[in-house]
Amino acid sequence: MDRLLLIDGHSVAYRAFFALPVDNFSTTTGQHTNAVFGFTSMLINVLRDEAPTHVAVAFDVSRQTFRLEQYPDYKGNRSKSPQEFTGQIPLIKQVLDALHIQTFEKDGFEADDIIGTLATQAEAQGMEVLICTGDRDALQLVTDTTTVLYPRKGVSDLARMTPGAVQDKYGVAPVNYPDIAAMVGETSDNLPGVPGVGPKTAAKWLGQFGSLDEIIAKVDQIPGKAGESMRAHLDDVIRNRSINALIRDLDLPAGPADLAFTTEWDRDAIHTVFDALEFAALRTRLFEYLGGGDEHVEGDAAIAIDVSVLGAGQVVAWLDEHATDQTAAVGVDVTGVLRPVGARADAIALASAGGAAAWIDTTTLDASDDAALGRWLADPARPKVLHDAKGQLHALQAQGWTPAGVRADTALATYLVKPDQRSYDLADLSLRYLKRELVVDAGSGQLAFDDNTAGADTAAQRARAALDLWAVLESELEQQESLTLLRDLELPLVDVLARMESRGIGVDTDHLDTLHAEFTERMLAAAQGAYDAIGREVNLGSPKQLQEVLFEQLEMPKTKKTKTGYTTDAEALQQLFVKTEHPFLASLLSHRDVTRLRQTVEGLQKTVQPDGRIHTTYAQTIAATGRLSSADPNLQNIPIRTESGRRIREAFCVRDGYDLLLTADYSQIEMRIMAHLSEDADLIEAFRSGHDFHTVMAAKVFERDPSDIDGGLRARIKAMNYGLAYGLSSYGLSQQLSITTGEAQRLMDDYFETFGGVRDYLRSLVDEARQTGYTETIMGRRRYLPDLQSDNRQRREMAERMALNAPIQGSAADIIKVAMLGVERALGDAGLTSRMLLQVHDELVLEVTEAEREQVEALVREQMASAAELSVPLDVSVGAGRTWHDAGH
C-alpha cells in the first residue's frame, strides 16, 4: 500500500522553535536556525522510520482566512511570532525544495484544510495516510488507514493517534472529536467553550445522544447547571463546530498521486542549503539514514582504486613508477598522532592521478625504503596534496622526515573559497564537491583500521579525495583570484606554524601553582562575601538560584526576560550593580572574575608538557576574517587588561639557554588600515603628526587643542576608533561608554562629520559588496556575503556589519601573516638561534639570546614594518624581558 506523509509545516516548525533554545542555534551570519534544525531533524526521522512513498508539507499563508471572517476573534489571543522565528519558514521551504518535497499553501485557508483535502483524496485512492501536526483539529481525520503523529514533547517524541488512541484519550471516535472541541472550546484558537462542561461531560452527552446535532436538537432535555450553561452558550457551540470542521475538497494544484517521494533529490542543492545553515551533522544524518540523491552510486560510493599494500623493499619501485612526474601531484594522507607533542606517523597513503595508490606501514620500512620515502617527501619538485596538512607534517617530522613540495592543502583551499563554513572535514567536502562518500568508523568518527586491507583502502580513498578535491578547488580559487593568497601566504604559513607549535613556550609551573592557590582563596572569599550579604549560602553558578535571590529576595529591577527567567549574564549583572551597588552583586561579580582566572590557570597547568613548555595548536580556518586561532590551550585569550590577568603572563618565561622573550606588535593597525583604505586626509595627518593618535583625533572631533583633551574625551574617541573596525553601532558605543544611545549617535555624527573620508569609505564598502557579493582585503582575501541581498532584516544587517569589518580585520590578519613569514625567513637567512614562538593577534613573541637581541629587534622591526605598503607608517612597538609580562610595552 502506498503511504502518504502529510506535515503541517507551521505547526511543526513552531513547536521546534520552542523545543530548541534559540540562543544555541544560529549561523555565523546571525541567522537563527532552531526551528529549521528541529523541523529538518524531525523530517529525517519520520522519513527513516515511516518510509513513506509520497510526501507533502502544507503551510499557512496568513491569519486572513474564511474562519476569521466568520469569527473576528478567531486566534485573537495569539501573540505575534517571535522575531527570531521570522524568516525561518522560507529556509524550511528551501530544505524541502532541495529534497524535492512538494509544499502547498492556499489563500483564505489553513494548512489543516490542505491536509484534510489530500488525506481524503488519498484514502479514496487506497493509500495509507500519516499526518504530522501539533493541531488537534486533525484528529477528526483519523481512520483505520489515517494516523496522526502528534508531538508529545518537542518534535522528536510523536504519539500515534489511531482510532483506538483517540477513543482512549477523549472517550469518543475520531469523527466526534470536533464535537467535543466545539463544546469544551479551544484555547489556542480563542474559541470559548461552555462554562462547566469539560471533556468527560461532553463525551458522556455524545455517548447518550449519539452526535452533536442530536445534543443541539434535544438540548432542553439536558438537566442541571451544565444543561443550563449549554443552552446559554449554544450559539458559541454551533459557531465553534462550524469553524473547527476541516475543508476536504479544496482545489489544489496536485493530488496524492503526484507527491511521490524518492531519494533522487538534488545533492548540490542539499549541500548549498545545509552549508548556508551550517548543518554539517544533520547532513550526515540525512545521507546516512536515507542515502540516495542524484548522481549517488548504489552500494560502495567510493571510486575504485588499485591499492598496493607495500612491504619491505617495495617502496622504491612504487615511487619510481607512480610518483616521479613533476607536473602531476600525488595525494598524501598520514595516519597516526597528528599533534605538536607526541606526534607519530603510523601509516602513509599515496594516491596518484593515474589511479594507483599505495599504503605504507611505517613500522615495516627497511633502511632503503625509509631513505627513499624521506627523499621523495623532502623533494620540493615532487608536488603533493594533503588535507589539513599541519598535523600530518608534525607526524612526518616525528618520523625523521622533512616534507617539502606541498602544492595544496585542500582544507585551506576550501576555507579561502568559503571562509564562513564551520567545518572543513574531508568527508563533508568529498560529499559536497566530489559526490563521493568516504568510509569512517561510525563509533569514533575516525578511519577504521581493523586490518591492513580495510585500512589501506580507507586511507587511499582519503588521499585520492584530497587529490581530486584540489582539481576542483584550484579552478574555483582561480575564478575568485585567490590562488596567489593560498600559494604565497597560507601554505607557507603552515610550515611556520608547525615549527612554532613544536617549539612551544616555556612555563614557570611554580608560579602557576602559586596563582592557582591565590585565586582559589580569593574565589572562596568572594563567595563568602556574597553569602554574608544575603544571610545564606546559594549556588553562585545556578541561574535559577540567582534569579530567586536577585529578583525575589532582594527585589532588584528585572533584567531581560528569557525562556528560563530573567537573565543573569555578566552584562546584565554589571548593569544591575551600577544601578544598585549592592554588596551581593559586588561579591558575585568578583567571584565570577576570579573563577575565570582560576580556570585559565588550571587549563594552562594541564597542558604543560614534560619539556616544561606549552605547545598551543594554531588553526587557519576558524575565523572568517583570516585571523589565526589558538587552542589546547588558547594562548590568544590570556587576560592582559587587569593586573590579575597580567600576572598569568608572568608564568610564561625563557628556557633552554635563551635569555629573553621579545615581543613586537603593531600600534593601532586597524586604524592605520582604515586611513589607507579611506584616504581620509585628516586621519592620515593624525598618524603622521607624531603625537598620540587618539588625542589628535579627539582634538579634531571636539575642536579643541590637543592639550585640552582629557582622559574621558580621549577614551570616547578611542572607543570610536577601534569600534569602526568592528561595525560598531550607536547602541554598542553607548554600552562601552555608559552613555545614552542618543549621546552615542551624536558622537558618531560628529566623528563622521570631521572624518568625512571614513564615512564615505564605510558607506561605499556596503554598497560595493552588495553589487559584487563580497568584500576584499588589501591582499585580495574575499568574504562572500550573499545575505546582503536577503529579505530578512536580521540577516541583512548582520551581513552589513560583516561587510564593514571584514576588509579591516582581514587586512590586519594578512599583514601579520606576511610579517611572520618575513621574520621566520630572515632569522633563518641570518643563521640566528633566536626563534619565533607565538602569534597573538597583532603581536609576535620570540625567544632570543642576549647576544642576538639587537640584531633580532632590528630584523623584526624591519620585517613587520615592511609587511605592507600603506599610506601611513606601520608603527612597531618592541619590548623584552625574562617573562611575557616583563616583555610588555
pLDDT tens per residue, range 67-101: 877 778 777 666 677 878 878 898 999 999 989 99
Q: DSSP alpha helices (H): ranges in 490-582?
A: 491-503, 509-534, 543-547, 570-580
**Contact criterion met (CB below 8 Å) for 43 and 37:** no
Instruction: Kindly tell me if the per-residue pLDDT of 182 is higher than 60.
Output: yes
Q: 401 or 169: whose pLDDT is higher?
A: 401
With beta carbons less than 8 A apart as the criterion, state whether 322 and 305 touch: no
pLDDT for the residue 298: 37
Q: What is the rounded CA–CA span in Å between residue 269 and residue 326?
A: 37
Residues of the chain by 3-state class (helix, strand, coil), percent to 5? 55, 15, 30
Round to whole Å and give the CA distance between 8 and 112.
7
- Per-residue pLDDT tens for 669-716? 998 999 999 998 988 988 888 778 888 888 888 888 888 888 888 888
pLDDT in the model for residue 222: 85
Cis peptide bond upstream of 256, omega within 30: no
CA neighbor of 436 nearest in space, from 229, 330, 297 = 297
Measured between alpha carbons, how far is 33 from 88 in angstroms, rounded to an integer?
Answer: 7
Judged against a pLDDT cut of 90, whether residue 241 lies above it is answered with: no
Residue 698: closest CA among 690, 686, 688? 686
Q: Is the pTM of this model over 0.85?
A: no
Which pLDDT does position 79 carry in this prediction?
66
Average pLDDT, the chain: 88
Residue 149, pLDDT above cutoff 90: yes
Looking at the DSSP assignment, which residues form a beta bridge with residue 358? 308, 350
Q: Angle at the Cα of 190 (from 187 to 193), degrees rounded to 5?
A: 65
| Average pLDDT score over residue span 773-782 | 94
Predicted confidence band of residue 442 (pLDDT cuts 50, 70, 90)? very low
**Which pLDDT band holds residue 726 (cuts at 50, 70, 90)?**
low
Say whether pLDDT at 448 is over 50: no
Measured between alpha carbons, how far is 550 from 580 in angstroms, rounded to an integer? 11
Q: What is the pLDDT of residue 214?
A: 83
Angstrom distance (rounded) from CA 302 to CA 177 = 53
Q: What is the DSSP letter of 557?
A: P
What's the pLDDT tens digit per position in 354-397? 889 999 999 999 999 999 999 999 999 999 999 999 999 999 99
For residue 444, pLDDT beyond 70: no
- The angle subtended at Cα 644 by Cα 659 and Cα 610, nearest 5°, is 45
Render 143-188 in DSSP notation, one character per residue. -SSEEEEEEEETTTEEEEE-HHHHHHHHSS-GGGHHHHHHHH-BGG
| Location of C-alpha cell 591499492 | 307
Q: Across residues 589-600, what is the average pLDDT? A: 94
pLDDT of residue 315: 94
- Give the cell for residue 203: 463525551
Q: Are strands 505-507 and 613-614 parallel, antiparallel or unpaired?
A: antiparallel
Per the CB < 8 A criterion, the answer to whether 313 and 366 are in contact is yes
pLDDT per position as a tens digit, 837-886: 999 999 999 999 999 999 999 999 999 999 999 999 999 999 999 999 99
Count of positions (residues) in the chain: 889
Residues 561-598: b if buried by 16+ CB within 10 A, e if exposed:
eeeeebbbeeebbeebbeeeebebbbbbbbbbbbbbbb
Q: Whole-angstrom Cα distance, residue 219 to residue 305?
A: 80
Whether residue 534 is predicted with pLDDT greater than 80 in this model: the reply is yes
Give residue 454's pLDDT.
53
Give mean pLDDT, residues 798-825.
93
If one counts every other C-beta atom within 10 angstroms of the C-beta of residue 372, the result is: 18
What residue type is 438 in one-letter code? L
What pLDDT score does 593 carry? 93
Residue 430 CA to residue 268 CA, distance in Å, equals 12
Of 433, 417, 410, 438, the residue nearest 295 (C-alpha): 433
From 477-481, 626-630, 787-791, the region with the lowest mean pLDDT: 787-791
**pLDDT per position as a tens digit, 728-774:** 778 878 877 778 888 888 888 888 888 888 889 988 999 999 999 99
Cell numbers placing 829? 637567512
Alpha-carbon span 438 to 455, nearest angstrom:
12
Q: Angle at Cα 547 formed by Cα 542 and Cα 553, nearest 5°?
A: 120
pLDDT, tens digit, 9 for 90 and up, residues 199-213? 888 888 988 888 888
Q: What was the pLDDT predicted at 302?
A: 55
> Of the candidates 446, 442, 403, 439, which has an alpha carbon nearest to the alpha carbon of residue 307?
439
Whether the CA torsion 141, 144, 149, 153 is positive or negative: it is positive
Per-residue pLDDT at 471: 94
pLDDT in tens, 259-288: 999 877 777 788 888 888 888 788 878 887
- CB distance 650 to 883 below 8 Å: yes
Secondary structure class of 631 (helix, strand, coil): strand
DSSP reduced 3-state for 409? strand
Taking alpha carbons only, the member of 147, 150, 138, 131 closest to residue 7 is: 131
pLDDT at position 74: 76
pLDDT-derived band at 452 (thresholds 50, 70, 90) equals: very low
How many whole angstroms separate alpha carbon 66 and alpha carbon 70? 6
- Domains (range + CATH), the chain: 3-162+246-258 (3.40.50.1010), 299-480 (3.30.420.10), 518-608 (1.20.1060.10), 663-668+812-881 (3.30.70.370), 670-807 (1.10.150.20)
Q: Which pLDDT score is estimated for 189?
A: 78
Alpha-carbon dihedral angle through residues 757, 762, 768, 773, given to the nearest 10 degrees: 160
Share above pLDDT 90 across residues of the chain, in percent, rounded to a whole number = 54
In which band, very low, low, confident or very high, does the pLDDT at 451 lie, cut at 50, 70 and 90? very low
Q: Which of 182-186, 787-791, 807-811 has the lowest mean pLDDT?
A: 787-791
Nearest partner of 353 among 474, 221, 505, judged by Cα: 474
% of the chain residues with pLDDT over 70: 96
Give the residue from 822, 838, 825, 857 showing the smallest Cα distance to 497: 838
